[in-house]
Amino acid sequence: MNYRLDDIDRRIIYAVMDDARNISAPTIAEEVNVSPGTIRNRISNMEEHGIITGYHANVDFEQADGRLTNLYMCNAPVSEREMIARQAQVINGVINVRELMTGRRNLHVLAVGENTSDLRRIARSLSDLGLEIEDEVLVQNETRHAYAPFGSDEDTHHERITDFISLTGDAEVAEITANPEAPIAGVTLEQAVRKEILDEDTLVIAIERGDTVLTPHGNTEIRADDVVTVFSRGGIGESTIEAFRSEANSAQ
């Protein structure tokens, strides 16, 4: 049976994503005007329905133990992608597997190794599953934020960058939410390059729109609240971020 979220559930999810370690039922209860017991019951119900699936720590493995974090961008047969994703999760060193609704690079595997030899061992294990590793990069840094629409107005971040990864060299990947009044909102990717809203070195590799992940093309239009994954070999500059922000936010 489907579990339909209400405003209380959304505020709970925001609090859990923001800081699961220090989540306080009484604090959330006070903010949304319900009892702490209601908050605990809601959390339990969302866990049972698979909405809240876990509480994860962000770990800098290089600082912790001098280890290397590597992102493998793989191609998996669409009919076997889900099964291979489950198999990849049990490889020693793999810490995250992301399935994408795209034709190529449709499986991203994040893994931690003691050294480059260990990373090659993980690569061989992925290949043995039938994956074609199209590219792989060392991850320098990764940050996460709570999903802003589930928070209060005071909690909303102006820049709304939900995920940012620095790769080897100057290359970077970022997930940016398009604000309703952003220069890129209502513009196709082809138009965005022609009007110099995006530079030619910035590649849009995925668009999340509601529950759907779109494969971007030149005639794909960016809409308000789209979560857009962008890649740039020269790094994600301020001009790229500005393309997704409203003029009011840009002025702050």
Residue 75, number of CB atoms within 10 A of its CB: 17
Mean pLDDT of the chain, nearest integer: 86
What is the per-residue pLDDT across 23-77, written as a single tens digit (0 to 9) for each?
788 988 988 889 999 999 999 999 999 999 888 878 888 888 889 999 999 999 9
Q: Give pLDDT tens digits for 78-121.
A: 899 999 999 999 999 999 999 998 778 899 999 999 999 999 99
Please tell me the chain's helix, strand, coil percentages from 3-state DSSP, rounded to the nearest 5: 35, 25, 40
Residues 88 and 41 in one domain: no
Which CATH number does the domain housing residue 25 bear? 1.10.10.10
16: Cβ contacts below 8 Å, ≥ 6 apart: 23, 43, 52, 55
- What is the average pLDDT across 4-31? 87
Residue 242's domain spans which residues?
143-250
Give the end of a domain, one of 139, 173, 207. Answer: 139
CATH of the domain at 209: 3.30.70.1450
What is the number of domains present in the chain?
3
Q: Looking at the domain assignment, is residue 1 inside a domain?
A: no
- Residues 72 and 123: beta-carbon distance below 8 Å: yes
Q: Is 151 helix (H, G, I), strand (E, B) or coil?
A: coil
What is the per-residue pLDDT for 166?
59
Residue written as token pair 């529950």: 211
146: helix, coil or strand? coil
Does the predicted TM-score (pTM) go above 0.75? no
Same-domain status, 132 and 76: yes
pLDDT digits (tens, 9 = 90+) for 136-170: 988 877 767 777 788 776 554 444 554 556 565 67
Task: Look at residue 135 and tell me if it is in a domain.
Answer: yes
